[in-house]
Amino acid sequence: MVQYRGTSETVGFGNEEPRYLNTTEMDVIVDNLRPATEYEFSVKVIKGLKSSDWSLAAVNSTFPQPSQSYPQDLTLMAITS
């Protein structure tokens, strides 16, 4: 089980409610994250009725959102040596 949420530094008003991703895979891709946002991730193992404690949190940031348009007002200059 993967638990994740945006941190207070990027959300702006305390920690948001955690979201959960249930998986049986060792490698997981978490979709639908906000660009340029810091997230905190923890994992726990669940087997039958037993489960581990949540792991220590790992913090990582998503990349900024790419530009949606071409650059405007460019001036091209020739380079001479």
pLDDT in tens, 3-33: 999 986 655 555 578 999 999 999 999 999 9
* pLDDT value, residue 3: 96
Instruction: Please name the helix (run of DSSP H) or strand (run of DSSP E) that holds residue 10, with its range, or none.
Output: helix 8-11
Sign of CA dihedral 52, 53, 55, 57: positive
What residues does each domain of the chain span? 2-61
Q: Which residues contact 47 (CB under 8 A, 6 or more apart)?
A: none
65-78 per-position pLDDT tens digit:
877 777 777 787 88
Q: Please work out, in degrees rounded to the nearest 5, the angle formed at the alpha carbon of residue 79 by the alpha carbons of 74 and 81.
A: 165
Q: Quote helix, strand, coil % in the chain, to nearest 5.
A: 5, 25, 70
**pTM score above 0.85:** no
